[in-house]
Structure 1
């Protein structure tokens, strides 16, 4: 270098991040850390005239400062030239003050320093984006000029507390350049600088977004608490050990216990729940934690006054943060339980009455059967004994007694069948039976009655079908169908009976052109005591005698054979068809 410290030569292609060409012709003090240095000041002269080792701090192209041990040598042959040897210091540390300033200027928090009069003497650039003010606009100002009116007292107390105790923290609102107030989280610390002057260091952070979220959560929590506390259902929050965490006001009203009497206590230590429910409830909790969905459960509770109530509880597993709970939502079903109990009692009474009815029918039927046999047998003997005497009055009385006895005997037989059906004792005595032959025999038994009522029976029995059935019971069913058809068919009416094979079944069809059945009557006829009462002009031919048990018994007999029986009719005056289907598996 020359005496003015202008670089004339350097033995490196690149130094301080600059190329050789960029360095030659430049004053070395251009790269010194202090920009105020020049060849006329004292420091430059000291460098030029120093004969000793000294330190020179230079700034690299990237802004990084480097410190060197420097040695200068004057050329004896040319005193206007200066040779400087530079050696980079090993393990050198950067200037702490510079590092701290760099950090402070680049942190996201606002760092501000106030003097003892609370006037702002320093603030970092983080405040620009929050306040909108430049440093020049706020330096020397008091923070209280920018505070929200409601926060001034609180902020003054915080500054005072920091001055006395050394530290304080809190939140307040600061006005930005647009006039909007922004929430800040503030930490205030008392400090003393290198010269012993009192300072207040304030670090603040924009928490406007957090405040909005907190406000939304607060409003949401208020709405939830309102719904929770004003729910018409009892709501109980329990941890997995059975400890009651929270209840709503409906729970208190339902049980009579105040909130403080239940919250914090394990439900197993209370007299609230019947102890027999403890084990199933804990098992239920475990299943809920495992993710299983369980139906509601009915629990018997004891109110504070000792009164028993029934509550239906729906339970679910919930997590709040890292804590696990069982939420139970219930409602009072005491009235429902009372009604259910009353219904059960009434059902029990009805069953007892039904059993009594069955027993009475069975006993009365058996008791009637013995004297009826005597009456019918005695009547037949008297008829035979008086047959020689042609006394019309006596014969008429005997016929009347015989008809009444037979009718009563048939009723008793049906009552006995009903009892057997109800007690499950209706049995079949099966044997191979020719259906064609059986039907012909039944039809012949009605010859006298058909002649008397002037009704004609036709048959189509071309199929020869043999089934393994109870012939007496099937004869009873067919007789009942033909008897009903005769009773409900007018003079000169026709009853047609058909036997044929269908796929998998033997079909017996009894068809008449009598009074017919309505839709409502079709639903009723196969029920017990399902007798149809019909009166009116033109229906004088109807025979309304009967107990209403015949078709019910017929249906049970056919079902016992694993068959079906049903009726069809197009309505009043259009006749009726009864069909029996017996499966061939009875062969």
Structure 2
């Protein structure tokens, strides 16, 4: 019975004329109150049955917890994780969730609890907070849970509990992750495909494109998205009618291609393309997926091939290397002018002759026949290199460095041995002279009377020294090459010595006076003449140390 109805009964009883009337009214009011209470109890029981049915049959996980997250009640849905409600009652939820989620959840619960309890005291509307966490099933497998928590008054006494409604989103999350991975894989395959791809609507407005398409046309896709390719100057006048025809076919749901287009790049250069188009659905709308292959090089190659055929003979004749082709019997099929000049013959005197019998010194003939047969049989690398002499008309031998291969037709049948050769006679002679000079210089270096040291200019590590350096210091060459240049001098003269080197480098003095500290700690006065040089892009210092014999004798 509500307050207004009670007030009406009070007023009626107060206005009754006699005691009996008041008693009747009181009895009637009491009966009405009992009737209302019975109805309220029935309604409460009905609500309780309804709430229980919802709680026990919902797929959501419902739990009532203390503020310290101790379970007080769990609905049967928690059995999906392998637990009966009785197994969890009395345990703390915070101890069971994933360790990485505990700190976050504690913060959420603390923040929310303070906020909620404060709002309850002020009789404000209920405020809930959403959070996610991971919870293990009985087998130990982690499940992703999406939850909403609400502090509620404790029905069994003072204080507050927390009502948490959770939903298992593991499969949903896994599906979303797979979808995301699939989208990422598709995007990666699209972006990095070796063929240019673009997407446009059926009117020619750009929607998307990949990196190869950007490379082909010279535009970034962001510069074209939302623009019509008829308006941006991509198409040549010759290509416009074909593009219109293709879009009409795409609008009718028909694919096209391959079709050849000539486009104008952003930098103004023209490119030749083969284009295939496919009408597809994207977000419910028909769009065009285009595949673009850059055939500019192929078209250029076709044109170049025509020119090359006419220039081949001129090229062979002007080439500064020998071009030689022989058949399986080593008869000459082709030789260029350079080859004829080196041999001292006319080309007509060489073609048709046995190459090995006529133009190779006797001592090399058998070896070269075997070499050629190994090339033919595949026992040697088809792009092999060898060196051998040829015999000129004057009887002179010229050393030639050959690059060799075997030419076969489409069926794999032998066509010819093809070789390009360079006369390396003078080069080999020069290399020999350089080697001999190097040997002489090395002998002079090692046998010089003065001690010579070489050091890395940057690290000051000793990198070389001669025999006199070993004699002067008493150290072996191996030991010296493990030392720094600074270790050759006593510490008390090192600064003065370094200053002297700097002055010498500027041309202020000719020699530097210093001392060398030997293995036996003996100090030897020396004069040093130093200079810098570069070798293999690295800077080195060379110092020639001469013992001050006269000064030493004078001091004695």
Normalised-by-shorter TM-score class: 0.3 to 0.5
TM-score, normalising length: structure 2: 0.41
* Structure whose CA Rg is larger: 1
